[in-house]
Amino acid sequence: MQEEIIISGFGGQGALFAGQLLAYAAMEQGFHVTWIPSYGPEMRGGKARCTVVVSDEEIGSPLVRRPSAAIVLNIPSMEAFEPAVKPGGMLVVNSSLVPQQSERDDIRVVYVPASDLATELGNVRLANVICLGALVKATGVVPLAAVEQALDNHLPERHRKLLGLNKEALQKGAELAGDG
């Protein structure tokens, strides 16, 4: 098994954190993992994305050109990565910020109004974790409980007060993904 995942959005949307969380969860499950961040020079508002490769064998290359799954948090990410997802792959779309529908019929697409749901939870910055919950549930790349454990183990101290909300966001996303 090897999953190659891209998580992409604007700086400040938490794409890199969502990828780190997935990487930690996979690593703690005994998988081989790579996590590579990529971002523009802007702190917030610029492009931010990361690639995560999760495999049960050694990873030959951490570069991801044709991801098996992607999370797109904004319109530029949808435009860049929806065409790149491998046939048979998975695309999780933050439908709060991405109004267009995928025209592909060879991938599974889950539309999650993540920014709206995150706002309802009390913090719009939880949209990334909602989308991650949907991706994990839909792909089965790692158990959802492993991501919860990674939150326990790796949520930065300055955000510990948001631990419960992050777990709630993760569950909300998983519910929206259906039965995977």
Segment 122-180, tens digit of pLDDT: 888 899 999 999 999 999 999 999 999 998 898 878 878 888 888 999 999 999 886 54
At residue 65, the pLDDT reads 86
Domain boundaries, the chain: 2-176
- Cα separation, 103 vs 107, whole angstroms: 10
Residue appearing with tokens 């996303």:
173
Taken as a whole, the chain contains a residue count of: 180
Residue appearing with tokens 């910020």:
97
- Cα separation, 84 vs 8, whole angstroms: 13
At residue 94, the pLDDT reads 97
At residue 41, the pLDDT reads 63
Mean pLDDT of 16-39: 93
Q: Is the dihedral of CA 168, 172, 173, 175 positive or negative?
A: positive
CA distances from 24 to 53, 54, 63 (A): 12, 10, 18
Domain topology for 2-176? Pyruvate-ferredoxin Oxidoreductase; domain 3 (3.40.920)
